[in-house]
Amino acid sequence: MRISVIGCGYLGAVHATCMAELGHEVVGIDVDENKVAELAAARAPFFEPGLEALLKKVQTTGRLTFTTDMSAAKGSSVHFICVGTPQKKGENGADMSYVDAATRTLLPYLSADDIVVGKSTVPVGTAARLHEVVQSAEPSAELLWNPEFLREGHAVSDTLQPDRLVYGVLSGAEDHPAVHLLDQVYAAPLETGTPRLVMDLPTAELVKTAANSFLATKISFINAMAELCDAAGADVTLLADAIGMDSRIGRQFLNAGIGFGGGCLPKDIRAFMARAGELGADQALAFLREVDSINMRRRVRVVELTRELCGGSLLGQRITVLGAAFKPESDDVRDSPALSIAAQLQLQGAVVTVTDPEALANAARRFPDLNYVNSTDSALQRADAVLLLTEWQDYRDLDPYVTAALVSTPRILDGRNVLNSTKWRTAGWKYRGLGRP
Ligand code: UDX
């Protein structure tokens, strides 16, 4: 099939590449000339395992092209909208200007019976509104909502082998021709048994925000338990292992630590609350405010614990922060708790050095005043305290004896509860976890 993918950021670049891998002829369209040039040269504009190799592979087939020219969408029968919906400045709601602009710019290039498929995370009600916009330009075209659930760091496999496909369609009816067209796009994952759920537009939009809210709630739940464990002298890691063995609860997303960040969970729960308010259902999501504040409290707690670890004052203390990305296997620093903690420590008088295997360039753009060092060993030199804030495998594998020889004072705060505390203490370290005795 001929497919256009509008917006080549995280979601769109991965989606375009994966659709070409599935055998389709794909044009990726973005307003950012640099991004288009990078992608056209088969270079991933961000770090995502497996993406660049796949880009190179599919570009040799000639099935994948990139352009800034929207008219290239003409002739495609399926148009995916993959642009971002960031948090509005100074407000909780989502900024819809990119989705609206992408849809409107596409209208002149729609042909009879085309489908426009929204993938961006949007406030419920957006799809119905855009459906009218699309049909006013091309009455035989249909707009569907097909939310994306990919995780950074696993984006390629999440797109090629999704755990479910959700199609929102105005009628909610499975026998709609647009549903058959989208089935052809996803023929490969459907053949391997990927479940596909067809529903009305608002339900499809809500599936995404509800899923992200649940994940955020799960993380904040275990972080609230970590606060309690700290107060009671209990161990949140063992607690998570034990409650996670109940299959109704499950162990995933029960890792207590410095909390969630990134380009999705924080802004999605805020946009969801804002939308619920507009719909007069704000009480239903009042608990998400608590989820958000538990999460933000983690960052304050780590700063306090670091002060304690350093003997009561941060002034002049040399702190090495391991990890700047919001999670491992990513160079994304959007709302990264690690980076926000590093910046806070520096503001409070510490001398902070940050290292990360992939995210330093992005981190330096966001917080230019912090000191960034590429090599882990150099970053650790003469540290008064070490903070492990993003659990890259390299940091999990650090040897406590070798590391002790590099630092000035062997003190470590394990912000992700991933180190073996006994091993580190035996090697002479003062070890602090979060919610661990
Ligand atoms: C998330 C959703 O998982 C994905 O389905 C959606 O499409 C986009 O948002 P992503 O932002 O890539 O994906 O990251 P995710 O793996 O969900 O992690 C989010 C944050 O939660 C990270 O900062 C991570 O470190 C943190 N986290 C995750 C925890 O603190 N504890 C956990 O147990 C799990």
Is the domain of 289 the same as that of 311?
Answer: yes
Q: Domain of 248: which CATH number? A: 3.40.50.720
| Cβ of residue 150 lying under 6 Å from some atom of ligand 1 | yes
Is the domain of 243 the same as that of 177?
Answer: no
Is the domain of 139 the same as that of 231?
Answer: no
In this predicted structure, what is the pLDDT of residue 391? 98
Atom of ligand 1 nearest to the CA of 391: 25
**Domains held by the chain: number:** 2
In this predicted structure, what is the pLDDT of residue 298? 98
Is the domain of 187 the same as that of 215?
Answer: no
pLDDT tens digits, one per residue of 309-322 = 999 999 999 999 99
* Domain end residue (candidates: 154, 177, 194): 194
| Cβ of residue 237 lying under 6 Å from some atom of ligand 1 | no
In this predicted structure, what is the pLDDT of residue 323? 98
Is the domain of 119 the same as that of 219?
Answer: no
d(CA 269, CA 292): 8
Is the domain of 336 the same as that of 391?
Answer: yes
d(CA 231, CA 233): 6
Atom of ligand 1 nearest to the CA of 155: 12
User: Span 121-136, mean pLDDT?
Assistant: 98
**Residue bearing the CA closest to ligand 1, atom 22:** 260
pLDDT tens digits, one per residue of 42-78 = 999 999 999 999 999 999 999 999 999 999 999 999 9
pLDDT tens digits, one per residue of 358-409 = 999 999 999 999 999 999 999 999 999 999 999 999 999 999 999 999 999 9
**Residue bearing the CA closest to ligand 1, atom 15:** 151
In this predicted structure, what is the pLDDT of residue 93? 95
Is the domain of 184 the same as that of 250?
Answer: no
**Residue bearing the CA closest to ligand 1, atom 31:** 255
User: Span 330-357, mean pLDDT?
Assistant: 98
Is the domain of 214 the same as that of 188?
Answer: no
Q: In the chain, pLDDT over 90 holds for what percent of residues?
A: 100
pLDDT tens digits, one per residue of 263-307 = 999 999 999 999 999 999 999 999 999 999 999 999 999 999 999
User: Cβ contacts of residue 27 below 8 Å, gap of 6+?
Assistant: 2, 3, 4, 5, 16, 64, 65, 66, 67, 72, 73, 76
d(CA 12, CA 19): 10
* Domain end residue (candidates: 165, 194, 223): 194
| Cβ of residue 219 lying under 6 Å from some atom of ligand 1 | yes
Query: Cα–Cα distances in Å, from 246 out to 34, 115, 152, 217, 239?
Result: 49, 43, 27, 18, 12
pLDDT tens digits, one per residue of 241-256 = 999 999 999 999 999 9
| Cβ of residue 147 lying under 6 Å from some atom of ligand 1 | no
pLDDT tens digits, one per residue of 209-248 = 999 999 999 999 999 999 999 999 999 999 999 999 999 9
* Domain end residue (candidates: 140, 173, 194): 194
Active site (annotated) includes residue 8: no
Pocket test for ligand 1, best of 151, 157, 395 (most atoms within 8 A of CB): 151
- State the residue for tokens 């970590």: 226
| Among candidate residues 83, 4, 18, 7, the one with its CA nearest the CA of residue 53 | 18
Residue 47 phi/psi, 5° resolution? Answer: -85, 120
> Structural domain of residue 160, as residue ranges?
2-194
Is the domain of 173 the same as that of 234?
Answer: no
Is the domain of 48 the same as that of 164?
Answer: yes
Is the domain of 280 the same as that of 170?
Answer: no
Atom of ligand 1 nearest to the CA of 265: 9
Pocket test for ligand 1, best of 327, 356, 391 (most atoms within 8 A of CB): 327
d(CA 126, CA 378): 50
User: Span 200-208, mean pLDDT?
Assistant: 98
| Cβ of residue 328 lying under 6 Å from some atom of ligand 1 | no
pTM: 0.97
| Cβ of residue 265 lying under 6 Å from some atom of ligand 1 | yes
Residues counted in the chain: 437
Is the domain of 81 the same as that of 218?
Answer: no
Q: Is 333 exposed, middle or buried (0-12, 13-18, 19+ CB in 10 A)?
A: buried
Q: In the chain, pLDDT over 70 holds for what percent of residues?
A: 100
Distance 220 CA to ligand 1 centre (A): 12
Atom of ligand 1 nearest to the CA of 152: 12
User: Span 168-174, mean pLDDT?
Assistant: 96
Beta bridge partner(s), residue 412:
386, 431
Q: Grade residue 161 by pLDDT with cuts at 50, 70 and 90.
A: very high
